[in-house]
Each structure stands twice: as structure tokens, then as C-alpha cells.
């Protein structure tokens, strides 16, 4: 058996990163399939010295996203799969605000529309003790955190029960090596968006599942190895 389960993937941006590329990728990484992807980036952990610039650019890009009919080629964000997902997502956002979080943009279902549409949303100033930090958000909602240094970023990234994928942005070799070695996830992508590729083993750790699919490692998960010994 192989289980690929949920995730609360971190997207870490250090001060040494290419900020413009990181912001542009952050939008795609969160909004893939209208945010309904296990490996979509969900928690954006940004170094304090660049957090204002990152936040400003991210809010502007979120505000420009076109939400609407998925059959329209201009649409960038479509509906959620079911009314239950919409209801649950909205409840999570409201709980986050109740626990002290701040809505930077969005924060509610899209009004006056038919369908399960939710506004592209960014939540910030979330108390680290809030239970909402331990949940997966399955929809176009991003959680934004500021942190002073790499130690704090890694500790925060690893602080959930999930461990599917992680994206980290840095131009510093020492930071890169620590992120690769210390992030608890089945996949760590440096300066790129987490994605599955048939050439690479894919799967999670902790509550994000076990075993691997794809690549030679994935094929071997479903093969009984027969041992033969002859004297």
C-alpha cells in the first residue's frame, strides 16, 4: 500500500532570494487547481527584512487574479469542487480571524455568483499557538508568516503534522544546504515550485502518507521481490 495524503507545504523565502521570481511563483504554487492540490504551497514563510516587499507584491498579484467560469480562457481561478469544501474553507478562514489572524485580501466566498467560488485570500499575523496552524487549507487561501532568520523558518516549516513537499528560495549555498537537510518533507524544491514528475519519486512523511509513487522507486513499491539462493 502507498498513501499520499494531505499537506501544508511551506514556501520559504529568504532575503537572498530572487524576490520577483519568488513572488510570481508563489501565486502559481498556491493557486494551482484553484488551491485544491495537496502539494500546493500553503504556508508562506518570509524573512523579516523582505517581508513587506513580498507581501505588497503578493497582495497586488492576488487582487489581479481573474475568478470565474473555468470554460473562459481568461479565468485564472475557478470554483471549488463541492459546496462542502467551500463551507469548510470559509469556516477555517473565519476561525483563523477569530484566533487573531488578519485578512489582507479576500476572506469570504465570492458574492453574487452561482457556484462554489472563494475569493483569493491572504491571512497574516496568525498566532503560532492557534490550532489553525496545524490544518490543511484546500482552496485559494494563503497563510503568511514573517520570521527573523533561517533557524526560525525551518522550525516553523517543520511545526505541522504534515510533510509532503516544501519550496525554499535562496541564493545562499549554506542556506540551501541546511534547507535540503533539515526540512521534514518528502520533496524539497530549491528556487522552484513543488510538482510531481514521473522521473522522480513522489510521496510524503508524517501525516502526509508513506511509500513512494512514480519513478523506479514507485514501481518497486508494487513489486514482490523474490529471493533465490542456490548452493
Q: What is the pLDDT of residue 111?
A: 84
Residues of the chain with pLDDT under 50: none
Task: Give how many domains the chain has, as a whole number.
Answer: 1
Is 183 domain-assigned? Answer: yes
Is 41 domain-assigned? Answer: yes
Q: What is the pLDDT of residue 199?
A: 96
Instruction: Print the SS3 string covering 44-111.
Output: EEEEHHHHHHHHHHHHHHHHCCCECCCCCCCCCECCCCCHHHHHHHHHHHHHHHHCCCEEEECCCECC
Cβ-proximal residues to 208 (8 Å cutoff; 6+ apart), any chain? 4, 5, 6, 7, 38, 162, 163, 164, 185, 186
Judged by phi (left if over 0) then psi (alpha if -120 to 50, else beta), residue 49 lies in alpha
> Which DSSP state fits 202?
B
Is 54 domain-assigned? Answer: yes
Q: What is the pLDDT of residue 106?
A: 97
Is 218 domain-assigned? Answer: no
Exposed, middle or buried: residue 47 (CB in 10 Å: 0-12, 13-18, 19+)? buried
Exposed, middle or buried: residue 1 (CB in 10 Å: 0-12, 13-18, 19+)? exposed
pTM above 0.85, yes or no: yes
Q: What is the CATH number of the domain that holds 119?
A: 3.40.309.10
As a whole number of angstroms, the distance between CA 168 and CA 141 comes to 19
Q: What is the pLDDT of residue 1?
A: 87
Is 182 domain-assigned? Answer: yes
Is 21 domain-assigned? Answer: yes
Q: Which residues are catalytic?
A: 4, 38
Q: Which residue segment(s) compose the domain that 51 sits in?
A: 7-196
Residue where the block lists cell 502518507: 209
How is residue 92 written as a grid cell?
477555517
Q: What is the pLDDT of residue 25?
A: 98
Is 17 domain-assigned? Answer: yes
Q: What is the pLDDT of residue 114?
A: 83
As a whole number of angstroms, the distance between CA 204 and CA 158 comes to 13
Amino acid at each position: 500500500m502507498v498513501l499520499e495524503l494531505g499537506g501544508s507545504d511551506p514556501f520559504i523565502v529568504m532575503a537572498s532570494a530572487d524576490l520577483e521570481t519568488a513572488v510570481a511563483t508563489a501565486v502559481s504554487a498556491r493557486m494551482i487547481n484553484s488551491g485544491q492540490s495537496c502539494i500546493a504551497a500553503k504556508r508562506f514563510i518570509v524573512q523579516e527584512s523582505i517581508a513587506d516587499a513580498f507581501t505588497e507584491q503578493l497582495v497586488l498579484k492576488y487582487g489581479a487574479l481573474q475568478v470565474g467560469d473555468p470554460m473562459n480562457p481568461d479565468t485564472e481561478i475557478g470554483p471549488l469542487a463541492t459546496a462542502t469544501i467551500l463551507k469548510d474553507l470559509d469556516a477555517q478562514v473565519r476561525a483563523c480571524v477569530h484566533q487573531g489572524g488578519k485578512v489582507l485580501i479576500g476572506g469570504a466566498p465570492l458574492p453574487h455568483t452561482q457556484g462554489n467560488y472563494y475569493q483569493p485570500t491572504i491571512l497574516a499575523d496568525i498566532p503560532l499557538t492557534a490550532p489553525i496552524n496545524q490544518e490543511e487549507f484546500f482552496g485559494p487561501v494563503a497563510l503568511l508568516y514573517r520570521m527573523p532568520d533561517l533557524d526560525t523558518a525551518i522550525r516553523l516549516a517543520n511545526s505541522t503534522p504534515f510533510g509532503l513537499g516544501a519550496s525554499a528560495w535562496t541564493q545562499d549555498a549554506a542556506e540551501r544546504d541546511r534547507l535540503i537537510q533539515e526540512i521534514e518533507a518528502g520533496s524539497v524544491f530549491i528556487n522552484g515550485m513543488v510538482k510531481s514528475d514521473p522521473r522522480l519519486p513522489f510521496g510524503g512523511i508524517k501525516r502526509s502518507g508513506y511509500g513512494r509513487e512514480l519513478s523506479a522507486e514507485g514501481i518497486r513499491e508494487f513489486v514482490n521481490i523474490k529471493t533465490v539462493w542456490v548452493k
